[in-house]
Structure 1
Amino acid sequence: MARITAGVATSHVPAIGAAIDLGKTREEYWQPVFAGYEASRAWEREAKPDVVILVFNDHATSLMLDVVPTFAIGCADSYKPADEGWGPRAVPVVQGHPELAAHIAQSLIIDEFDMTILNEMDVDHGMTVPLSLLFGEVDTWPTRVVPVVVNVTQFPPPSGDRCWRLGEAIARAVASFPEDLNVQVWGTGGMSHQLQGARAGLINREFDNTFLDNLVADPQALRRITHYDYLREAGSEGIELIMWLIMRGALGPNVTQLHRFYHVPASNTAVGHVVLEAA
C-alpha cells in the first residue's frame, strides 16, 4: 500500500523564485537562503518520493476571489506554471497523479471534508517555489504531485485544528491506496510576515522559532493557535502556517527532525524550513 514517509515545510516567498530565475542565488543577499536548503535537496535525491501531496494557497491566480473554496484538491493530469503578471516561470510542468488524487478526494469527502475538485488549474509560486527549493533547477520534476489548496486569503480561513484533522484524514486515505507508493506531504507558506498596513514588514522571530520547536516538541499546542493569535503575533499573512499543520497532522504523533532552517529576511518575510521523518 501507499505510505507517507516524511513531511516537509517551507516558505514559498515569490522573490525566491525570481532570484532563481534571474540567476541571483549566489549573490550575497540570497546565498544564505539557498544554502539552507542544500541538505534537504541532497536528502530528497536519496528519498526519491513517488508522489508529493503539496499543500499551498493560490494567490488569486487560478482561483479568483469570486470563488474561494476552503479546501480543494487537484485531480488533473498536469498543472502548468501560472502567469502571475510577469509571465510564467520557466520551470517544468507539474505532473499530477490523478488516480491517487481521486482516491484521496473520495476518502476525504466520505470522511466529511467537503473538498472542491479541481480538474484544471495553473499553479503559482505557492507550488513552484517549494519545488525549486527542494529539487533545484531541473528539466523535469522528479516526482508527481497532488495539490491541496487551502484558503488563507479571504476571511474566514479554516482553523489550525481543522487543518490538522485534514492531515490525519489524508494519512488515512493514503494508507488505503493499494499501489506501493513513497509519499511525502509538504506544507508551504509563512512564516511571520505582513505585506500591508501599518505593520507591513513585521517579522516575529520568537513566534516563528517556537512554532518550529513545537512541530516536534509539542505539536498539540499548535492546534490551539487561533486566527487572532496568528494575526497579532505573525502578521496578516502568518495565517499561512495553518497549512504546515496539514503536513504535521498527516505524520502521526511521533516524528524525527532531519533538518531545520530559519533565516531573516528574504524579501520582507522570514523563511522557515523543516524536514520531518514519520515514525
Structure 2
Amino acid sequence: MAKITASVFTSHVPAIGAAMDLGKTQEDYWKPLFAGYEYSKQWMKDNKPDVIFLVYNDHATAFSLEMIPTFAIGTAAEFQPADEGWGPRPVPKVIGHPDLASHIAQSVIQQDFDLTIVNKMDVDHGLTVPLSLMCGELDPKKDAWPCPVIPFAVNVVQYPVPSGKRCFALGQAIRKAVESFDEDLNVHIWGTGGMSHQLQGARAGLINREWDNNWLDLMINDPVACANVPHIDYVREAGSEGIELVMWLIARGAMSDVVDGKVVGPAPTVKHRFYHVPASNTAVGHAILENA
C-alpha cells in the first residue's frame, strides 16, 4: 500500500528561481532566504520519497484564459520546464508517475471531485522553484530530480477559485486514493504558493507578516478552522495573490490526522518552519510536517 508520510509547504516565488539560476543565492539580499532552506535540503536527502504529489498553480503557461481547469492532474511520463518568456529554467525535466497519477484521478473522480486529466503540459516556476528549494541546484545535463513528481495544478488565478474547505476535502480524497494504490510507495504531498502578496493595484507590494504567521499557526494546529477561512479574508489580509494559500490546505488535508473533515488522530510533527520577507515583492513561508 502506498502511504503519504510527509507534507511540504513553500512559496514558489519566480525570483527565487532566477536567483538560483543566476548564481545570486549568496548575495546579501538573498542569503537569509536560502539559509532557511538548508535544513530542508538535508531533510529531503534523509527522507527521500518515492513520489512527490506537488500542488501548484499554473501562471498562464500550460493553461491560458481560454481554458482554465479548477483542478488538473498531470498523468504524463515527463514534463518539460516551461518557457515563461525568458527561456525555460535550466533545471532537469520532471519525470512523472503515470500509474499512480491515473489511479489517483480514477479514485478522486469516483469520490465526486471533477479533475481535468492532462497528458501533456509544460510546468512553470510554480512547480520547479519548490523542487529547486528542496533539492538544490541541479545540472539538467547530468542530474535528475530525486524522484518522480505528479503535477497537480489548481486555478487560483482567475475567479471563481476553489474554497479552502473544498481544497481541504480534496486533500483527504487524495490520501484515500494514494492508500488504495497497490504498491509500496512513500509519497510526499507538497502545497505551494503564497504567502501574502499583491502584484497590482493600489496595494501592490502588500506584506502582512502577522496574518501570515497566524494563518500558518492555524493551518498546522487547527486545519479545520483554517479550511473555513473565507476568500474575502485572504484578499483583504494577504492581498489578491494570497489566495494561493488554499493550495496548502490540499496538502494539509492529506495528512493522517484528518478524517472525514475532522481532526481525529495524533498531530503531525513540525520538522521545520520558516518565514522571511522580502523575496521580490512577496512573503515566503515554509514548513515540513511528518505524519505521526
TM-score, scaled relative to structure 1: 0.99
Structure 1, unpaired ranges of 5+: none
Aligned twin of 2:13: 13
Is 1:147 the counterpart of 2:151? The answer is: yes
SS at match of 1:52: strand
- Hey, what does 2:100 align to over in structure 1? 100
Describe the superposition over 1:68-97 as per-residue Cα deviations: whole angstroms up to 9, x where unpaired.
001010000000000000000010000000
- Give aligned pairs, total: 279
The one-character-per-residue Cα deviations of 1:132-164 (angstroms, maximum 9, x if unpaired) are 000001211001001111000000000000000
Q: CA deviation at 1:252?
A: 2.8
Secondary structure of the residue aligned to 2:290 is: strand
What aligned pairs does 1:217-228 form with structure 2 within 5 A after superposition? 217-228=221-232
**What residue is the counterpart of 1:85 in the other structure?**
85
Identity of matched residues, %: 67
Structure 2 matches for 1:59-208, cutoff 5 A? 59-138=59-138, 139-208=143-212
Secondary structure of the 1:6 match is strand
SS at match of 1:177: coil
Equivalent-residue separation in structure 2 for 1:252 and 1:176 (angstroms): 14
Q: 1:246 offset after TM fit, Å?
A: 0.1
C-alpha deviation, 1:174, in angstroms: 0.3
How big is each residue's C-alpha offset from its partner over 1:224-246, in whole Å with a ceiling of 9 and x where there is no partner? Answer: 11111110000000000000000
Give the TM-score taking structure 2 as reference length: 0.95
Tell me what 1:53 maps to. Answer: 53
Look up the match of 2:243.
Answer: 239
Indicate the residue corresponding to 2:290 in structure 1.
Answer: 277
Deviation at 1:211, TM superposition (A): 1.3
- Letter of the aligned partner of 2:146 in structure 1? P
1:214, 1:232 → 2: CA distance? 18
Report how far residue 215 of structure 1 moved.
2.3
- Residue 216 of structure 1 contacts residue 256 of structure 1 at CA under 8 Å; is this kept in 2? no
Deviation at 1:219, TM superposition (A): 1.4
Letter in 2 for 1:37: Y
Q: Is the 8 A contact 1:12 1:126 kept in 2?
A: yes
Matched residue SS, 1:216: helix
Per the alignment, in what secondary structure is the counterpart of residue 158 of structure 1?
coil
Query: Aligned partners of 1:259 and 1:102: how far apart in 2?
Result: 32
RMSD: 0.6
- Structure 1 runs (4+) deviating above 4 angstroms are none
How many angstroms apart in 2 are the aligned matches of 1:216 and 1:96?
29
Aligned: 1:262 with 2:284 = no
Q: Structure 2: which amino acid aligns with 1:246? A: I
CA positional deviation for 1:216: 2.3
Aligned equivalents of 1:122, 1:46: Cα separation in 2: 29
State how far apart, in whole Å, the 2-side matches of 1:114 and 1:183 are.
Answer: 22
Segments of 5+ residues of structure 2 without an aligned counterpart are 258-266
How far apart, in 2, do the equivalents of 1:238 and 1:259 lie?
Answer: 22
Q: 1:94 corresponds to which letter in structure 2?
A: V
